[in-house]
Amino acid sequence: MRFEAQALSARRGEDLLFRDISFALSDGEALVVTGPNGSGKSTLLRVLAGLLPQEEGTVRFVDGTEDRPAREACHYLGHRNAMKRELTVEENLTFWAEFMAKEGAAPGMDIDEAAESVGLAGIAHLPFGYLSAGQQRRMAFAKLLVAHRPVWILDEPTAALDVKADAMFAGLCQAHLAAGGMLVAATHQPLGIESVKSLVMKGFEYGEALA
């Protein structure tokens, strides 16, 4: 498998945020995207996940000899957790497992196993809104585990996590990569994942790209 971007540019409103972004990942590879606030990291991730259109360039997911729509290959974990506060954790995860299955994702872990993998076994019966910020973020990771998609797109994934959860998250990412998955993560802090590719977003100043 291969996940690649070629000569991507994107605009928010009137402003061109970045241009000529290219990378290629194959099985087991990770890309960490860094850069100052406002340099376009979140925008790039949304373009990669198919949630925003690019201005120019291409995003491709190649499986063997077949080109598949990149958005169908991606799990997207944004700043927000995309869980309903009023529903229980189990109901939220069941929704995502069923939704992803309809969208063609292969089955993943069952709900209990996924909750256990993020260190929160036994509280899946609680409303999501009752959990602490860090527990909510951990449960949002569990969403990545209940259906299999080969590419994980992660925006500031470790915000709100304590040291133990950081290590747990690094372990989940390593396991995903070891199984041949790929990931792209925007972050201001190290993810604890070894051998990653790096992309530094520089942003634009006064309409010109920084050196």
Looking only at residues 40 through 79 of this chain, which bind ligand ATP when binding is defined by CB under 6 A?
Answer: 40-43
Residue range at the interface with ligand ATP (CB under 6 A); choices 12-20, 70-78, 165-173, 177-185: 12-20
CB 178 within 8 A of CB 120: no
Nearer to ligand ATP among residue 12 and residue 85 (C-beta): 12
DSSP letter (8 states) at residue 129: G
Shortest distance (Å) from residue 120 CB to ligand ATP: 26
**What is the C-alpha R_g of the chain?**
17
What single letter denotes the amino acid at residue 195? S
The residue count of the chain comes to 211
Shortest distance (Å) from residue 63 CB to ligand ATP: 28
Record the tokens describing residue 208, joined without a space: 């010109």
Record the tokens describing residue 182, joined without a space: 């790929």
CA distance linking residue 190 with residue 184, whole number of Å: 13
Among 13, 53, 122, 207, binds ligand ATP (CB under 6 A): 13
CA distance linking residue 75 with residue 143, whole number of Å: 9
Shortest distance (Å) from residue 208 CB to ligand ATP: 15
Is residue 108 at the binding interface for ligand ATP, with CB under 6 A as the rule?
no
Among 17, 120, 144, 165, binds ligand ATP (CB under 6 A): 17
Record the tokens describing residue 187, joined without a space: 């972050």
Binding site for ligand ATP (CB under 6 A): 12-13, 17, 35, 37-43
